[in-house]
Structure formats: structure tokens, C-alpha cells
Copies of this chain bind each other. A is one copy, B any other.
Amino acid sequence: MPSDKQDKQFAPYLHTIDIAVCRYNREKEAIEVLLHRRDKAPFKDQWALPGIVVNGDTQDKTIEDALNRLLNSPKVNKSPWYVEQVCTVGSADRDPRGWSSSTVYFAITSDENEVDEHRQYHDLKECASGKLNMPFDHNTLCKNVLERMVSKSLYSNLPMLFLGERVTFMDALKVTSVVLDREVPKGSMGGRFTRMVEEGYLTETDEKISRGAGPKLSVRINPNPGEMYLFDKSFKKTT
């Protein structure tokens, strides 16, 4: 039924949704992206961003439906804390099969290590730089995702979203440094962190966890993981 509407001979081009589901790997101190090993041509067996065809074999009511179908598909199978549309690209030559466009999303998920033969996390920086060679224009897409991530991290707590619900100050400092790829002053981050607690974005707990030497770390709770906090103080508050 769907296939007679989407006859590949006559389809002007494919519109796909591709997604960069990212997590924070604490051991490697790196942001990683979930990739999918392609099981068919073109680029069979190469690691690519998971994607689906909008209105391909399955009819989607909206682009968001297609996005959710991708998130629930075996390629991804995640419920990320945060999802954001990054960009749309399209050209005659990005896919050897013909004209195709792709709408790219960026998502943040927990660091649970659910991998299998066809799902694996790779260093996002290596994907963006091309050190890990990816099919189609997926290296460029990863670069776009990384750029969006970095630019938003300057004026929001986006890096903290990688930490989920249970947050410590030192983890927030570390993950922000990892995302921005430079050392973040402890004092500056401390001020921001204090503000988040004072304004109720983070709530206090008595819980403390230990991570090697030194005092235990106080755990704060982010009741709404995925909700972004803006540090922007440009011009006066809207109040």
C-alpha cells in the first residue's frame, strides 16, 4: 500500500531524518555519538548516523512523527532527554542513489552502554573532523551538530544535560570543559552553578558520592533533565 505511492523510479528524491544521539563518556572524557552500521548498500558495513526515510515504507503524518519513528527504531531505540533540530541539507550528489535531502537532529541521552553489532558510540570530534570517515556527507553533518552544541554551550547549561538528573558541581565543570574543548574557570562555573541552585533549577540534597580521593561530592538534582537553563544576561530581564 505505501509502496505504490512511493515508487522509487519516480520519487524525485529521498527526504531522510538523520540523528546524532550523543552521550558523555566519563572515562574517556569525550562526547560520543551513536552510529549505526549500515546493513545494505550504499556504503554497506560503514558506520553512519542512524536515519530513516520520511514517508518511505511507512507513512508519517508529520516530520516529528518520522523523528519519533527513528528514535523508536532498532537503529536508535532511545528516549533522549533533549532533542533539537539542527539543519537541513540537500543536494543531487550527497547520496549516490540520487537527489536527497536530510533534516538533522541533535539529541542528548544517558551514558548507558547499550551497544550491539550494529549500534556503537564513536567520538563526536573524530566524526566532525573526518578522522573517522563516514558515508554520505555525515562528517559534515556531525560538524554542524558539534558547532551547534558548542555555540549553545557558551550561554546555556547544555553540557550539563549530559549528566541527567543527578548532578555534581565537578561533573558539570568537567563536562562543560569537554564540550567546549578548553578549561573552564572554576570560579565562573561556580557562579553559574550557584545561580541555578538559588533559582530552583537545581534542588539540594544531602546525598554525597565519592569519586576517588578528596571530599565527597554533593549531589544536586535536576528535576527536569533536558530542560535548558540560559545564563544570558543580555539587556535587562523581561521579569
Contact = CB atoms under 8 A, between A and B. Distances in A.
Interface of A: 5-7, 9-13, 15, 54-55, 59-63, 66, 85, 87-93, 99, 101, 103, 154-155, 180, 182, 184-185, 188, 231-232, 234-236, 238
B103 A88 contact: yes
Given A59-B92, A154-B234, 12 more contacts: A5-B12, A6-B12, A10-B10, A13-B15, A13-B55, A55-B99, A62-B90, A85-B87, A154-B235, A182-B236, A182-B238, A184-B235
Contacts of A87: 85
A131 to B, nearest CB: 21
Which 8 residue pairs of A and B lie closest in terms of their CB atoms, listed nearest first? Answer: A10-B10, A63-B90, A62-B91, A154-B234, A88-B88, A88-B103, A6-B12, A12-B55
A139 B179 CA distance: 36
Copies held by the complex? 2
A93 B232 CA distance: 37
Nearest to A60: B92
Majority-rule SS of A interface residues: loop
A54 B5 CA distance: 19
Most chain B CB atoms below 10 A, which of A10, A13, A88, A93: A88
A162 to B, nearest CB: 17
16 contacts: A6-B12, A10-B11, A11-B11, A11-B12, A12-B12, A15-B101, A60-B92, A62-B91, A63-B90, A66-B90, A88-B88, A88-B103, A154-B235, A184-B235, A185-B235, A231-B234
A229 to B, nearest CB: 13
Contacts of A91: 61-63
A184 B180 CA distance: 30
Nearest to A2: B12
Given A180-B235, A188-B235, A234-B154, A63 B101 contact: yes
Nearest to A55: B12
Contacts of A59: 92
Contacts of A88: 63, 85, 88, 103
